[in-house]
């Protein structure tokens, strides 16, 4: 039997305008997802948005893919 993964807090928050942001930044979730859909890697996304943490991007992408 495969054990269930531990609960993971997804680093997302909603700003005062209802937009979803990633981590402790003002980077929009939709920008991260769009870059990923265009073939960008997590590392490439962080290069494009250096305020993001690589671990946050991986967590958000994992959440998006499930």
Contact indicator for 42, 54 with CB cutoff of 8 Å = yes
Q: CA 21, 25, 28 angle in degrees (round to 5)?
A: 30
Per-residue confidence (pLDDT) for residue 55, from 0 to 100: 97
Mean pLDDT along residues 36-59: 98
pLDDT exceeds cutoff 90 at 4 = no
Q: What is the pTM of this model?
A: 0.88
**56 class by beta-carbon count within 10 Å (0-12 exposed, 13-18 middle, 19+ buried):** buried
pLDDT exceeds cutoff 80 at 65 = yes
Mean pLDDT along residues 41-62: 98
Nearest one of 63, 8, 57, 9 to 35, comparing CA atoms? 57
Helix (H, G, I), strand (E, B) or coil at 42: helix
């Amino acid at each position: 039997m495969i054990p269930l993964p531990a609960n993971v807090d997804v680093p997302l928050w909603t700003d005062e305008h209802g937009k979803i942001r990633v981590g402790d930044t003002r980077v929009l979730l939709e920008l991260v997802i769009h870059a990923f859909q265009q073939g960008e890697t997590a590392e490439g996304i962080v290069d494009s948005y250096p305020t993001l943490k690589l671990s946050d991007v991986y967590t958000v992408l994992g959440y998006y893919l499930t």
